[in-house]
Amino acid sequence: MALTSSQLLEEVKKSIKEVTPDDVRRGLQSGDIQHVIDVRERDEVMDGYIPGAHLIPRGFLELNVEEDVSMDRSESIALYCAGGNRSALAARDLIAMGYSNVSSMIGGIKGWKDAGLKIQTGGLLTEEDMQRYSRHLILPEVGEQGQQKLLQGKVLLIGAGGLGCPTALYLAAAGIGKIGLVDADVVDKSNLQRQVLFGESDVGRPKVEVARERLLDLNPGIEIVAHHDLMTSHNAFDIMADYDIIVNGCDNFPTRYLVNDAAVLTGKPVVDGSIFRFEGQATVYDSAAGGPCYRCLYPEPPPPGEVPSCSEGGVLGVLPGTIGLVQATEVVKLVLGKGEPLVGRMLLYDALDMKFRELKLRRNAECPVCGDAPTVKELIDYDIFCGLPGHSEAAG
């Protein structure tokens, strides 16, 4: 028997349960309706949907309903679309799958809006984002929600050098929504051996400006803020205020202590990395999470005369790539809230032996900034000097 579409719809609507928008509102309030599913296409949903609705386009409904909504065939589900036709057909198909308590909302989202009921907008990935981040979206640990968290992430990179370059590239690619870069340097030819954001034609230009262009080319959907400045006690709080996570890739001790103290005082985690010759290390200082800070390990800087200068040590060009990407990985984990962060653990890497080791780090109750009786209560500008004896350093 041949049916026109309107005849089919008429038949289907007779065989399923239809409810009004007000029924759905009341059902959601009382708990009689456990799930609402919006079966429209993504571009239609962008303009708004019923708060709390599952968003599953009609074409994926049967495939995804068990995983995204419920395995339990007796739970009550209300379906809606733009005007009430697609959801009626969808209801018929869920019933065929054995769902026994399914309804279709008359009038769809238009009816819902006309009834003056509340809709939710925003927080959805665009079609463009769905393509760009598709390899994230198919990971259950990330998914659309995780990608949204990444896009809302605000991360400040101290230093656009050997560590900052690879970290910035991967964070931008991953879709960290706001990335700040602090660096007062210009690109030097000797940087190109390891600072992978820059090219020959960039020599002489401010690193943060080149970095901004390169990162926006990689991902135009995010915000890159260039701070062409030295971090000091005067601007540190201001610069850090807009960010949730600080990534330290700086190559001098004054900045290292400054960043540590500012982060402890404002309760922000610092994803720290350092490199020297063939060795590197990385950890996450997070005093707000009960972990140690940098001063727990090194309470005070040594006198400037006792340490080698920044450029003396040398560094294997690929080394900052390895450590910078450990830092980028930790940032992504912190933003997603997944996995075990390197809090209270120092990862040590020896490139020549190709070995990773791990040291336990403990909070020091006598730490001058995060200890039980802190003495450092404001930021201090130490004189510029490099490398700490017995501690690898030189990230530039």
Q: Binding of Zn ion at residue 295 (CB under 5 A)? A: yes
CB-nearer residue toward Zn ion: 13 or 295: 295
> Within 10 A of 76 (CB to CB), how many other CB atoms are there?
17
Q: Are 269 and 289 in contact (CB under 8 A)?
A: yes
Cα(178)–Cα(225) distance, integer angstroms: 8
Give the nearest distance from C-beta 271 to Zn ion in angstroms.
16
Q: Are 396 and 274 in contact (CB under 8 A)?
A: no
> Within 10 A of 124 (CB to CB), how many other CB atoms are there?
18
Applying CB under 5 A, what is the total number of residues that bind Zn ion? 5
Give the nearest distance from C-beta 371 to Zn ion in angstroms.
6
Q: For residue 237, give the nearest of 113, 124, 379, 87 by alpha carbon.
A: 379
Cα(91)–Cα(93) distance, integer angstroms: 5
Stretch that binds Zn ion, among 10-18, 25-33, 359-367, 386-394 (CB under 5 A): 359-367
Q: Could you give the string, one character per residue 189-218, with x where binding to Zn ion holds by CB under 5 A and - elsewhere? A: ------------------------------
Q: Looking at 157, 293, 331, 336, which residue binds Zn ion (CB under 5 A)?
A: 293
Stretch that binds Zn ion, among 60-68, 90-98, 241-249, 361-369 (CB under 5 A): 361-369
Q: Binding of Zn ion at residue 296 (CB under 5 A)? A: yes
Stretch that binds Zn ion, among 85-93, 142-150, 354-362, 364-372 (CB under 5 A): 364-372
> Within 10 A of 107 (CB to CB), how many other CB atoms are there?
18
Give the nearest distance from C-beta 377 to Zn ion in angstroms.
13
CB-nearer residue toward Zn ion: 163 or 370: 370
Give the nearest distance from C-beta 288 to Zn ion in angstroms.
12
Angular region, 35: left φ>0, alpha ψ -120 to 50, beta rest = beta
CB-nearer residue toward Zn ion: 202 or 261: 261
Stretch that binds Zn ion, among 69-77, 293-301, 310-318, 345-353 (CB under 5 A): 293-301
Q: Are 240 and 195 in contact (CB under 8 A)?
A: no
Cα(389)–Cα(304) distance, integer angstroms: 11
Give the nearest distance from C-beta 342 to Zn ion in angstroms.
16
Question: Which residues in 366-395 contact Zn ion (CB under 5 A)?
Answer: 367, 370
CB-nearer residue toward Zn ion: 288 or 318: 288
**DSSP string computed for 94-143:** HHHTT--SEEEETTHHHHHHHTT---B------HHHHHHTHHHHTSTTTH
Q: Could you give the count of Cα atoms lying within 13 Å of 315 in the half-sphere of its Cβ?
A: 30
CB-nearer residue toward Zn ion: 223 or 300: 300
CB-nearer residue toward Zn ion: 97 or 365: 365
Cα(263)–Cα(248) distance, integer angstroms: 11
Q: Binding of Zn ion at residue 16 (CB under 5 A)? A: no
Q: For residue 264, give the nearest of 238, 243, 283, 285 by alpha carbon.
A: 285
Give the nearest distance from C-beta 328 to Zn ion in angstroms.
24
Stretch that binds Zn ion, among 146-154, 235-243, 296-304, 332-340 (CB under 5 A): 296-304
Give the nearest distance from C-beta 255 to Zn ion in angstroms.
17
> Within 10 A of 331 (CB to CB), how many other CB atoms are there?
27
Residues lying near Zn ion in the complex (CB under 5 A) are found at: 293, 295-296, 367, 370
